[in-house]
Amino acid sequence: MTTAEARAEVRNQEAAARRSRWGGVLLGLGIGGFFDGIVIHQLLQWHHMVSALHPPDTLENLRLNTVADGLFHVAAYGFMLLGIFLLWSGTREPHPAWRTSVFVGTLLFGFGLFNVVEGLIDHQLLGVHHVRPGPHWLAYDIGFLVWGAVMLLGGWGLMRSRR
């Protein structure tokens, strides 16, 4: 193998590893969205996607919130599909073996990224809903952000442990 061929192979392996990492992060982002939508929106029923703007106290507002939740799930589903595609495409070329901790790190990073971004944008900036409305809403919102930051940082650490 020539030097140019060896360099090209290394570039291909690095590109495959990048696709796999991004795939894991996007998959984690989708998992975070589904966790939020299924556990907090549906099972606990603490809020819906736009419940601060349209309280679900009428049938019409409940329908609007249900559609917004559905669109939210479509986005989470899209992140998961893209993540799976990138993970798959990253495995189709020769690449160094991934440690389980690195894969778990990408998932945690993506899940944490979801919490931090969604918590800052939807809860704090736009105010479309809070984690749990009521007298202690700010504590729940902060807890959600802290939980996300811990997953984000833990995931980052696990992703970097591959070196």
Helix 100-118 crosses helix 137-160 at what angle (to 10 degrees)? Answer: 150
When pLDDT is cut at 50, 70 and 90, the band that residue 8 belongs to is: confident
Q: What is the mean pLDDT of residues 4-22?
A: 83
pTM of the shown model:
0.90
**Residue 95 pLDDT exceeds 70:** no
Least reliable range by pLDDT among 17-21, 33-37, 68-72, 146-150: 17-21
Per-residue exposure over 98-108, b if at least 16 CB sit within 10 Å of its own CB, e if not: beeebbbbbbb
Report the C-alpha gap between 113 and 1 in whole angstroms. 41
CA dist 103 and 89 (Å) reads 15
Q: Which pLDDT band holds residue 13 (cuts at 50, 70, 90)?
A: confident
State the Cα–Cα distance between residues 75 and 85, nearest whole angstrom: 15
Q: How confident is the model at residue 162 (pLDDT cuts 50, 70, 90)?
A: low
- The pLDDT of residue 163: 52
Cα(85)–Cα(79) distance, rounded to whole angstroms?
10
Query: Residue 22 has what pLDDT?
Result: 94
Percent pLDDT > 90 in the chain is: 77
Q: What is the pLDDT confidence band of residue 130, given thresholds at 50, 70 and 90?
A: very high
Angle at 31 between CA 25 and CA 35, to 5 degrees: 145
Please work out, in degrees rounded to the nearest 5, the angle formed at the alpha carbon of residue 146 by the alpha carbons of 142 and 149. Answer: 140
Distance from chain centroid for Cα 84? 13
| CB 40 within 8 Å of CB 126 | no
At position 139, the amino acid (one-letter code) is A
